[in-house]
Amino acid sequence: MQTEAPAMAGHEVLPVSQGEACNSCPTSSLENIEKGYCGSAPSFDPSWLIDPSCVEIGPKITEGPRSTVFQGLYKSKPVAVKIIEPTKESTESKEKFQREVILLAKVKHDNIVKFIGACFEPSLMILTELMRGGTVQKHLRNIRPQTLDLKLSISFALDISRAMEYLHANGIIHRDLKPANLLLTEDMKQIKLADFGHAREEIAGAMTSEAGTYRWMAPELFHTEPLPRGVKKQYDHKADVYSFSIVLWELLMNETPFRGRASIMAAYATAKAVRPSLDDIPEKIIPLLESCWAHDPKTRPEFMEITDFLSNLFKELCSTEAEPPKVVETEVEHPEKCNVKKEESAITNHVIDRPEEKKKGKRRKKSRSLSFLWCFVCKCWCG
């Protein structure tokens, strides 16, 4: 797709009545708000609504259990179009949709996708900036069995941590932090957090249990015993910290967490205090992972602390990057002079023992060992 394409040939244009022009706030959507489809929250701003007649749907980017994301155009500008599938609980789904729109519209951060607008008809739709790098999940799968460079992994983790620190500082929990909800910029160097379908403002009371995706779900959200649908559990923003630890492990290992287990069994294992292997994790990062996926949420760090730790580690990695060894230029003597010196040296050696030669030998050995150590360090950081 062109960056500023005037049209998208062969792509679906959402149906509108003949002669209807693009409006910033369509009347039908305003009527839906007045009818109570969006709940009674006074914080919903009508200026967030867009006219569906200005939206063109392109190829599918990804698909989830309740929504599909497409590439598209809005007033000839590239966007991502998320369409929520209709459910039997239409009122409930519209209330969730409203909550997602409100949260997305209010958050402003470099590591969170930019909200563009939303509409209720002909379908529940959210428009955000188009992230051309795709999902982190897809990128990791594409490069397997290779892993990301360590410095890039930490840089990505920093992006995520900063986004989560911002959300938690504003009283918002995401509840579905995973690689499929992390999007890459076109240069594949920056991550932005997306999909606020499970996000909500944190409250002191009980909240919906088993919110999110099993493989990245914190143990306190999962039921090991069957319970009636809709049962709530007591948990807080530290559930996001656990999910972050599993994402960080994936960034370092490029493996599926709890590989070989079904998703629900992965959550069951988590509830029973099973965690991914730390065998090939860099030693300096192990304490961070262990604290973030601690079974007791109270002992997990805040994202502010995680950001500080990762920032310091990233600076350290940058400062210790291997530099090319310096080439020492030596003066090449004329062969005849070398022969004369060799003869003089041979004569002198017959007369006295030269300790200086022994020192030179030691210096050569020392130089070799330093060169070996330097190569070893380079391999550690670069490998």
Point out the residues that are catalytic: 176
Ramachandran bin of 188, using left for φ above 0, alpha for ψ from -120 to 50, beta for the remaining angles: left
Sign of the dihedral defined by the CA atoms of residues 334, 338, 339, 344, in that order: positive
Cβ neighbours for 6, distance < 8 A, ≥ 6 positions apart:
76
Phi and psi (nearest 5°) for 7? Answer: -160, 165
Asked whether the beta carbons of 185 and 192 are under 8 A apart, the reply is yes
Look at residues 275, 164, 157 and name the one whose alpha carbon lies nearest to residue 216: 275
If one counts every other C-beta atom within 10 angstroms of the C-beta of residue 8, the result is: 19
Asked whether the beta carbons of 151 and 300 are under 8 A apart, the reply is no
Query: Rounded distance, CA 326 to CA 254, Å?
Result: 35
Burial class (CB in 10 A: 0-12, 13-18, 19+), 329: exposed
Structure tokens at 56: 């063109």
Across the beta sheet with 77-84, what order do the strands follow? 12-13, 55-63, 67-74, 77-84, 124-129, 115-119
Phi and psi (nearest 5°) for 319? Answer: -75, -25
Element (H, E) at 275: none
| Long-range contacts of the stretch 186-192 (C-beta < 8 A, 24+) | 186/131, 186/132, 186/133, 187/133, 188/133, 188/139, 189/152, 189/155, 190/111, 190/159, 191/111, 191/136, 191/156, 191/159, 191/160, 191/163, 192/110, 192/111, 192/112, 192/113, 192/131, 192/159, 192/163
The vertex-123 CA angle with 117 and 128, nearest 5°, equals 25
